């Protein structure tokens, strides 16, 4: 399953949101991938997520496989679209 969204978190996927995302992924039995442009990242890897260089306004495709796939996608989207700093 997958979903395409526009990143609205003002920080994009830089240090704090990336760290929060990786931490949150530990709670799910799912493998989550985030694709931004031609780059792809495993949402459980801080280096992989930071390497995306994703900023507010970028379009991202979030996909997941596993028992908790939908919940993991929802949690990922929540971080990517968070309006708070």
Q: Are 65 and 30 in contact (CB under 8 A)?
A: yes
31-36 sheet: strands from edge to edge: 2-6, 59-65, 31-36, 39-42
Answer yes or no: 14 catalytic.
Answer: yes
Q: How far apart are CA 4 and CA 60, in angstroms?
A: 6
| Helix/strand/coil for 46 | helix
Active-site hit among 14, 46, 50, 77:
14
* Residues assigned a catalytic role: 14
């Amino acid at each position: 399953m997958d979903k395409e969204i526009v990143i609205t978190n003002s920080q994009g996927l830089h240090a704090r949101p990336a760290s929060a995302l990786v931490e949150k992924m530990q709670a799910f039995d799912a493998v989550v991938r985030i694709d931004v442009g031609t780059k792809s990242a495993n949402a459980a890897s801080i280096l992989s997520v930071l390497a995306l260089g994703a900023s507010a306004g970028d379009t991202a495709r979030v996909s997941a496989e596993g028992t908790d796939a939908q919940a993991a996608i929802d949690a990922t989207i929540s971080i990517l679209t968070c309006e708070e700093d």
